[in-house]
Amino acid sequence: QQPVQSPQAVILREGEDAVINCSSSKALYSVHWYRQKHGEAPVFLMILLKGGEQKGHEKISASFNEKKQQSSLYLTASQLSYSGTYFCGTPPRGAGSYQLTFGKGTKLSVIP
C-alpha cells in the first residue's frame, strides 16, 4: 500500500524551513527518501530504520516514529538547490523485502 506524503507541494523562500511527512497504514521497517530534480533521475538521500539507525549521504535531518508509522524530512535554511520532488519509499513486506512502494511525492520549490 502506497505511503501518503504531505504536503503535496510547498513553496519556500531561500533560508526558510520545511517539513515533509510520510505516513503509512502499515507497520514500517524502514523509510527511504529520494529527491528528484526536474527531468532527472531520483537521487538517494537517506534511509531511516526501525530502531533509530540512519544511513545517508547528505546532512539532511529526518525522523522516524515507529508508533505513528510516520517519517518526517526536515529541510532547514533552504537553498535553491533543494528544489525538486521528494519521494518516500517503504518496503511493503518489512525486513528482507525486495520491493519499495513510493509515495506520490512532495514538490518543493525554493525561490530567491
Partner 1 sequence: NAGVTQTPKFQVLKTGQSMTLQCAQDMNHEYMSWYRQDPGMGLRLIHYSVGAGITDQGEVPNGYNVSRSTTEDFPLRLLSAAPSQTSVYFCASSYLQSISYNEQFFGPGTRLTVL
Residues that bind partner 1 (CB under 8 A): 2, 29-30, 32, 40-44, 47, 49, 55, 57, 87, 89, 91, 94-105
Min dist. Cβ of residue 89 to partner 1 (A): 8
Q: Is 23 helix (H, G, I), strand (E, B) or coil?
A: strand
The smaller minimum CB distance to partner 1, of residues 13 and 99, is found at 99
Nearest approach, Cβ of residue 37 and partner 1 (Å): 12
**Please, what is the minimum distance in Å from the beta carbon of residue 96 to partner 1?**
6
CA distance 101 to 23: 12
| Least gap, CB of 36 to partner 1 (angstroms) | 9
Q: Please tell me the distance from the alpha carbon of residue 47 to that of residue 89, in angstroms, as a whole number.
A: 9
Q: Which is nearer to partner 1, 13 or 59 (CB)?
A: 59
Position of cell 510516520?
70
**Phi, then psi, of 69 in degrees rounded to 5:** 55, 50
For residue 59, the number of C-alpha atoms closer than 13 Å in the C-beta half-sphere is 3
> Which residue's CB is nearer to partner 1, number 17 or number 53?
53
